[in-house]
Amino acid sequence: MDLPSVAGSSLLWIFLSSTLIWVITRAIYRVVTNPLSSIPGPQISKWSGVVLIYEWLVGRRALYVDSLHKKYGPIVRVAPDEVHINDLSAAREIHKVGGRYLKSKWYENLVPPGIVNVFTVSDPAYHSALRRLLAGPMADNQLKVFEPLITDRVRLAIRRIGEELEYRGAADIYKWWLFLATDVIGELSFGDSFRMLETGKKNQYILDLEVVSSFQPIRTTFPTLIRLARYVPLPIFRSVFESGRRMGMYAHQSVERYKKLLQAEPNYPKTLFTRFYNAGKEGLSDTEIRNGAAGYIVAGSDTTAVTLTYLNWALCRHPEIQEKLVAELQSLPEDFTDKHLRELRYLNNVIMEALRLYSAAPSALPRVVPPEGATFAGYYLPPGTTVCTQAYSFHRDPAIFPDPERFNPSRWDNPTKEMNYAFMPFGAGSRICLGIHLAWMELRLAVAHFYRAFPAARISTKEGMSDEDMKPKISFLMAPAGHRCLIEA
C-alpha cells in the first residue's frame, strides 16, 4: 500500500470516529440537560419512544402506560418529549374549558389526509366556531326529534338479533350493535341509513371505514409514509389510499343527494346538519358539512357499539346484576320512551359502570403544553411537551374506585366528588365528546329493549367463543380482540 492511501484511510477513520463521538456526546448532553430528565419513567424513554410506539402498534399502549403509573406514580415520561399524567388536578387544568392545552397534530394523522373536522382541528378559534354551530342539534333537548328514528332502529336490531339466535343458535351482538350505531349515525348525518341492519351486511363505505380505523396506529406513527401511499406500489398502501378517497367521495355524494331531496321537499326528515345547508356566511361550507358528517360516522359508530357489547358481556358474567336490571326494566310501561329510562336508577348505574370499566376510548388524549410551560406533580414541563391523560388509568385508581376491576354498578348510588371528576369516558372540558347525549340515548334505549327482549341472555361457547375473544385491543378506540361477542338467550 502506498503512503498517500494509508494517510487517506487514517484521515477517513479519524473523521468517522470523531463524528460518531460528537453524535453520541451530543445525544447524551441532550438527554441529560432535557428538562424532562428528572421525570420518573423507564430509562429507554429518555432516549426513544420506541417501546411506546411498539405498544401502540400492538394495541396495548393503555395497559403499558397504566403499568408505568403503577410503578412510577402519577407522572411518567413515556418518550423523550412525552409524559403521561394520572392526577386529577392536572387533568382538570389540561382539559378545562377555554384552556391552553391544544390537541396535538397527532389527531390530524388519525384520519385520512385533508380531512379537518371538529374532532381533529387544533386551532382553538376555528374549533370553538365549529363547535358552537354543531353543538345546537346535538344538545340533549334538541335530540328528542330523533328519538323515534333511534327507537325504530333499536327495535330492528333486536328483531335481527332474535332471528340470528333462531337460525344460528347464537347471535353476534358486537356485529349487530355496530350495525345499529352505524345506521343511526349514518341516517342522522347523511339523511340516509347504511341499511346494514336490513341487509345484515357491511357495505363498501363501512369496509373502507374499517381499513381507515385499523390503520390509525400506522397512520399516526408513519404519517409521511401514509401521505405518500398513493405513490407506493404496494397493494396495502394503495388500498389505504383508495379507502380514504372512496370515503371522501361517498360523503360528498351523500351530502349532495340530501341537498337535492331537501330542495324538492323542504319538509324532508331533518339531519344533524340540515340547518347549515345554504346557511351562507354564518353556517358551514359544503366541505365542512361533508367532513363533519364523515367524522361523526367514525366517532359515533364503534364507540357506542363497543360500549354496548362490553356491557352485555359484563352482565353475562354477573347474572345477579342482570337479574336486578331486568327486574327494574319490568316496571316500564309497554310504550316506554327515553324519558322513562332516564329515571331508572339501576339502568343508568349499569351504563356508568360499563363506561368506566370498558371505556371505548380509554387511551391517551394528547395535548401540547402552552408557550408558558407547566408544572404538574412537582415537575416542570417545557412548552411543546406532549402531555397525555388516559381514562383507562383514572377509571382504575383504587383510591377513587375501590376494588376497581370489579363491575359494580351500585358504586354509582352515591358517587364521591372524586369519582365524578375522574370519570372521563367522553373526555373532558372544551373537547368533551360532542355526541355524548346521543350516545347516552342510544345506550339507554338499546340496553332497555335488549333486556326486555332477552332477559336471560348469556355468553355462548358456540363456534369456540371464549373470554379470549373479549380481551381488549386498544389503539385510540378499544375493540374486542376476537371482533365478535356471541350470546345465547
| Residue numbers at the binding site for ligand HEM (CB under 6 A) | 118-119, 131, 185, 295-296, 299-300, 303-304, 307, 359-361, 365, 425-427, 431, 433-435, 438-439
Note the helical H segments in 73-146: 88-95, 124-138
Torsion of CA 443, 329, 462, 408, to 10 degrees: 70
Residue nearest to ligand HEM (CB): 435
Nearer Cβ to ligand HEM, position 217 or 300?
300
Pick from 386, 397, 387: nearest CA to 424: 397
Minimum Å gap between C-beta 138 and ligand HEM is: 7
Evaluated on CA atoms 77, 83, 88, 93, the torsion sign reads: positive
Question: How near is the Cβ of 304 to ligand HEM at its closest, in Å?
Answer: 5
Residue 50, C-beta contacts closer than 8 angstroms, at least 6 positions apart: 44
CB of 290 to ligand HEM, least distance (A): 14
CB of 383 to ligand HEM, least distance (A): 20
C-beta closer to ligand HEM: residue 241 or 273: 273
Query: What does the DSSP assignment read for 18-37?
Result: HHHHHHHHHHHHHHHH-TTT
Of residues 103 and 175, the one with the C-beta less far from ligand HEM: 103
Residue whose grid cell is 333486556: 451
Nearer to ligand HEM, 131 or 195 (CB): 131
**Residue 442: CB minimum distance to ligand HEM, A:** 7
Q: How far is the CB of 409 from ligand HEM (least distance, A)?
A: 16
Query: Distance between CA 144 and CA 188 in Å, rounded?
Result: 12
CB of 357 closer than 8 Å to CB of 314:
yes
Closer residue to ligand HEM, CB minimum distance, 50 or 145: 145
Nearer to ligand HEM by Cβ, of 271 and 460: the residue is: 271
- The answer to whether the CB of 284 falls within 8 A of the CB of 273 is yes
Find out whether 463 and 488 touch, Cβ atoms under 8 Å: no
By beta-carbon proximity to ligand HEM, the closer residue of 237 and 273 is 273
- Which CB atom, from 170 or from 477, has the smaller least distance to ligand HEM? 477
Strands (DSSP E) along 144-230, which ranges? 171-172
Output the smallest distance, CB 418 to ligand HEM, in A. 19
Helices (H) and strands (E) in the chain, counts: 21, 12
Give min distance, CB of 63 to ligand HEM, in A.
17
Cβ count near 379 (within 10 Å): 16
